[in-house]
């Protein structure tokens, strides 16, 4: 695998993770638990979808085969998507959406902080912009985890259930393969072991503060680095890609 | 001061084009009229998020997705300013929402029509937001300060939305034959419902007279409808589409178009709950509110716990 191939695959992985998460989150727009929160979550959704767009535009450029970001988003099937599985899971109730979001926001915060130092200027630039956004996202979602954990019995139970169900999808976030190895050597990619230690520490503190129990010895699901997904992703794509697939000659 | 003195001050403000502010005395009918109008407007923004939100997950390009998300979020933001403006008149958000959820309060009937294709997202932005702007521009000079100020911000964003809608229509109208057909179909379905947005003909409009007198409204329903048709027909022609009205004709004498009235029987039906999506829209609002109850409760209980901790420290 050439460095350029690895860079394409790496950027695609990051772009897909943001795109699918944004797609899921956007299902909440107009249906949030109250108006201010609806606006706040939509804001997060917008940032994440914007990051996806920048990353996929860069991936298209790196690939150099005259595919566009829209081609990448709308004309690949699930086996060629590399988003982390946790992003494609259904939103569930608001506790589940928030717990997932806090897990990812925390990951993103430390991840983009490292990526901002990348020797690849475009990735570093996208990361710098993203850090500003993610800092706000994490503040928002972590404060909700705390409210749910230490709020009512019902909110506590919902948050704990979400945590127990989602934890098995967190291992994937830190998996590295040949793509990472090649790009770490070039000073382009992030060593996810560094991110993992910081993420663990933050989550441990947050959950403790929220009176929630951190799941231990959980079996970790895997597959997305190879394009293996849950059953949910193909449905997401069927919905998202419907128009460009139905009207292949059309421009929108 | 006696009541009639208060009334003199109030009438004086209207006569001098001055703003009435929340702490000023105002006639009870004026307050009621404003609560009704502002809250209807707020509800319309919130319910309006639903038909447009319907296409967020299916927006056909990344750019279209981001723009639509931002647009629907703006509508929510408008709802927020307007609820806040209504609260300055002495009614709580809870009460306003209860009125919406129980079907007691109205919202713009246009949102009881379905968004069936992507072109409907273009048509809603172009026609519905276009009509809304026409209604709302005059409200920036409405006599009640908090309402007028909210409208200044809202109008700026709405004109961006209208351009966004028109941009979608442009892509479709100048696109493939299928896309153009999709655009024409959307225009056919949205033309008359949009015309209804200006309200019944002046002769049958029960609330118009006071609204004009109180400077909450400055032009009548029929005047606004005429203005809308005059403005929109050239845009339809630019797109190479056809207005679905065989009676549409330029009238040189009045320097405006003659056109067919919308079906006012349909209008009454949709207002009274028989539109294609009335039940869905209200059910979606109720579902979001009911399922959000535990979230709001958790936030309150948590805030109380923390304030007790701080008080004890």
pLDDT of residue B4: 80
- Of the listed ranges A204-208, B10-14, B179-183, B215-219, the least confidently predicted one is B215-219
What is the average pLDDT across B253-269?
96
Q: What single DSSP character describes residue A220?
A: P
Nearest to A250 among B63, B79, B178 (CB): B178
Nearest to B302 among A34, A147, A247 (CB): A147
What is the average pLDDT across B274-290?
97
Residue A239 neighbours by CB distance under 10 Å: 12
Q: Cβ contact (<8 Å) for A29 and B62?
A: no
Residues of B in contact with A34 (CB under 8 A): 289, 292, 295-296
- Of the listed ranges A45-49, A111-115, B217-221, B278-282, the least confidently predicted one is B217-221
B77 → chain A, closest CA residue: A39
What tokens does B193 get?
């419902």
Q: Which of residues 48-107 of B touch A (CB under 8 A)?
A: 49-50, 53, 56-58, 60-66, 69-70, 72-73, 76-77, 79-80, 83
pLDDT of residue B210: 74
Helices assigned H by DSSP within chain A = 3-25, 35-63, 69-74, 85-88, 94-115, 121-149, 153-166, 178-185, 192-209, 232-240, 242-246
pLDDT of residue B216: 73
- The radius of gyration computed from the CA coordinates of chain B, to the nearest angstrom, equals 21
Backbone angles phi, psi at B279, to 5 degrees: -70, -40
Which residue has tokens 């939100």? B53
- Of the listed ranges A97-111, A138-152, A179-193, B193-207, the least confidently predicted one is B193-207
Q: Which of residues 80-99 of A touch B (CB under 8 A)?
A: 93-94
- Give the long-range contacts of residues B149-157, CB within 8 A, separation 24 or more: B149/B85, B150/B78, B150/B81, B150/B82, B150/B84, B150/B85, B153/B81, B154/B78, B154/B81, B154/B82, B157/B74, B157/B77, B157/B78
Give the gap in angstroms from C-alpha B266 to the nearest C-alpha of chain A.
27
pLDDT in tens, A62-120: 999 999 999 999 999 999 999 999 999 999 999 999 999 999 999 999 999 999 999 99
Q: Kindly list the distances between the CA atom of residue B232 and the CA atoms of B180, B191, B238, in Å, as whole numbers in the listed order.
A: 18, 10, 10
What tokens does A229 get?
């997904």
CA distance B122 to B167: 7
Q: Which of residues 207-226 of A touch B (CB under 8 A)?
A: none
Q: Kindly list the distances between the CA atom of residue B85 and the CA atoms of A59, A147, B79, B151, B211, in Å, as whole numbers in the listed order.
A: 46, 29, 10, 10, 17
CA distance B172 to B183: 6
Statement: residue B207 has pLDDT above 90: no
What is the average pLDDT across A209-231?
97
Residue A106 neighbours by CB distance under 10 Å: 25
What tokens does B175 get?
């696109």
Statement: residue B2 has pLDDT above 60: yes
Q: Is B298 on the interface with A (CB under 8 A)?
A: yes
What is the average pLDDT across B149-168?
93
Residues of B in contact with A152 (CB under 8 A): 294, 297-298, 301
Q: Kindly list the distances between the CA atom of residue B283 and the CA atoms of A191, B259, B279, in Å, as whole numbers in the listed order.
A: 48, 36, 6
Residue A114, classed as helix, strand or coil, is helix
A93 → chain B, closest CA residue: B291
Nearest to A239 among B50, B58, B79 (CB): B58
Q: What single DSSP character describes residue A26?
A: G
Statement: residue B1 has pLDDT above 70: no
What is the average pLDDT across A159-175?
98
CB pairs under 8 A between A and B: 134
DSSP conformation letters of chain B: --HHHHHHHHHHHHHTTPPB-TTS---HHHHHHHHHHHHHHHHHHHHHHHHHHTTGGG-SSHHHHHHHHHHHHHHHHHHHHHHHHHHTTS--HHHHHHHHHTT-S---GGGGS---SHHHHHHIIIIIHHHHHHHHHGGGG-SBHHHHHHHHHHHHHHHHHHHHHHHHHHHHHTS-HHHHHHHHHHHHHHHHHHHHTT-S-GGG-TTHHHHHHTTS--S-HHHHHHHHHHHHHHHHHHHT---S-TT-EEETTTTEEE-PPP-HHHHHHIIIIISTTHHHHHHHHHHHHHHTHHHHHHHHHHHHHHHHHHHH-
What ipTM, to 2 d.p.? Answer: 0.97
CA atoms in the 13 A half-sphere facing the CB of B23 = 0
Return the residue in A35, A37, A41 with the most chain B beta carbons within 10 A, the one to mutate for interface testing: A35
CA distance A10 to B100: 48
Statement: residue B161 has pLDDT above 60: yes
- pLDDT tier at B260, thresholds 50, 70, 90: very high
Q: Cβ contact (<8 Å) for B295 and A37?
A: yes
CA distance B33 to B211: 8
Cβ neighbours of residue B7 closer than 8 Å, sequence gap 6 or more: B27
Q: Is A32 on the interface with B (CB under 8 A)?
A: yes
What is the average pLDDT across B217-244?
95
Q: Is A147 on the interface with B (CB under 8 A)?
A: yes
CA B47 vs. chain centroid, Å, equals: 9
- Please name every residue paired with B144 in a beta bridge, in sequence order, or none if there are none: B20
Cβ neighbours of residue A205 closer than 8 Å, sequence gap 6 or more: none
What is the average pLDDT across B84-88?
97
**Element containing residue A223 per DSSP (H, E):** none
Candidates B234, B236, B227; CA nearest to B256 is B227
pLDDT of residue B311: 78
Q: Is A71 on the interface with B (CB under 8 A)?
A: no
Q: Cβ contact (<8 Å) for B73 and A250?
A: no
- Please name every residue paired with B257 in a beta bridge, in sequence order, or none if there are none: B250
pLDDT of residue A101: 98
CA distance B161 to B122: 10
The 3-state secondary structure of B112-175 reads HCCCCCHHHHHHHHHHHHHHHHHHHHHHHHCCEHHHHHHHHHHHHHHHHHHHHHHHHHHHHHCC
B167 → chain A, closest CA residue: A252
Task: Judge whether B193 and B110 are in contact, CB under 8 Å.
Answer: yes
Residues of B in contact with A22 (CB under 8 A): 65
A3-246 CATH fold: Ferritin (1.20.1260)
CA distance B224 to B218: 10
- Rounded mean pLDDT of chain A? 98
Q: Is A249 on the interface with B (CB under 8 A)?
A: yes
Q: Cβ contact (<8 Å) for A147 and B83?
A: no
Residues of B in contact with A158 (CB under 8 A): 294
CA A126 vs. chain centroid, Å, equals: 15
């Amino acid at each position: 695998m050439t460095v350029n191939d690895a860079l394409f695959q790496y950027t695609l992985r990051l772009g897909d993770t943001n795109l699918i998460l944004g797609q899921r989150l956007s299902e909440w727009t107009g249906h949030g638990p109250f108006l201010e929160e609806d606006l706040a979550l939509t804001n997060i959704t917008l940032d994440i979808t914007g990051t996806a767009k920048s990353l996929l535009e860069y991936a298209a450029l790196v690939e150099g085969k005259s595919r566009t970001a829209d081609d990448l988003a709308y004309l690949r099937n699930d086996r060629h998507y590399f988003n982390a599985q946790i992003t494609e899971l259904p939103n569930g109730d608001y506790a589940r959406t928030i717990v997932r979001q806090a897990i990812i926001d925390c990951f993103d915060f430390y991840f983009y902080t490292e990526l901002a130092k990348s020797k690849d200027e475009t990735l570093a630039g996208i990361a710098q912009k993203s850090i500003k956004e993610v800092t706000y996202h994490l503040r928002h979602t972590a404060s909700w985890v705390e409210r749910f954990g230490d709020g009512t019995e019902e909110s506590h139970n919902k948050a704990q259930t979400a945590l127990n169900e989602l934890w098995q999808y967190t291992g994937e976030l830190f998996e590295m393969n040949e793509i990472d190895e090649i790009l770490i050597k070039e000073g382009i990619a992030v060593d996810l072991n560094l991110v993992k230690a910081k993420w663990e520490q933050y989550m441990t503190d947050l959950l403790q503060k929220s009176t929630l129990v951190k799941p231990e010895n959980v079996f970790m699901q895997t597959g997305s680095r190879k394009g293996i997904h849950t059953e949910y992703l193909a449905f997401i794509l069927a919905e998202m890609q419907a128009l460009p697939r139905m009207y292949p000659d059309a421009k929108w | 001061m006696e009541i009639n003195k208060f009334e003199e001050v109030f009438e004086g403000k209207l006569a001098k084009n001055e703003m009435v502010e929340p702490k000023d005395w105002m006639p009870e009918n004026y307050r009621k009229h404003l609560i009704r109008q502002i809250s209807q407007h707020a509800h319309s923004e919130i319910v309006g998020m639903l038909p447009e939100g319907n296409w967020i997950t299916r927006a056909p390009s990344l750019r279209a997705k981001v723009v639509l998300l931002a647009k629907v979020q703006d509508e929510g933001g408008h709802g927020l300013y307007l609820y806040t403006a209504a609260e300055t008149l002495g009614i709580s958000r809870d009460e306003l929402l209860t009125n919406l959820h129980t079907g007691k309060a109205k919202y713009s009937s246009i949102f009881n029509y379905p968004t069936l294709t992507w072109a409907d997202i273009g048509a809603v932005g172009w026609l519905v937001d276009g009509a809304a702007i026409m209604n709302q521009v005059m409200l920036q000079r409405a006599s009640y300060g908090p309402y007028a100020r909210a409208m200044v911000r809202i109008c700026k964003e709405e004109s961006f939305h209208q351009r966004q809608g028109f941009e979608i229509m442009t892509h479709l109208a100048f696109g493939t034959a299928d896309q153009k057909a999709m655009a024409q179909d959307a225009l056919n379905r949205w033309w008359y419902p949009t015309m209804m947005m200006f309200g019944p003909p002046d002769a049958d409009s029960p609330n118009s007279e006071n609204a004009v007198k109180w400077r909450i409204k400055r032009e009548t329903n029929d005047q606004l409808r005429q203005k809308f048709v005059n403005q929109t027909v050239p845009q339809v022609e630019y797109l190479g589409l056809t207005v679905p009205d065989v009676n549409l004709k330029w009238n040189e004498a009045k320097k405006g178009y003659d056109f067919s009235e919308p079906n006012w029987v349909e209008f009454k039906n949709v207002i009274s709950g028989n539109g294609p999506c009335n039940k869905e829209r209200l059910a979606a609002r109720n579902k979001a509110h009911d399922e959000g109850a535990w979230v709001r409760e958790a936030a309150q209980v948590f805030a109380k716990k923390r304030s007790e901790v701080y008080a004890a420290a």
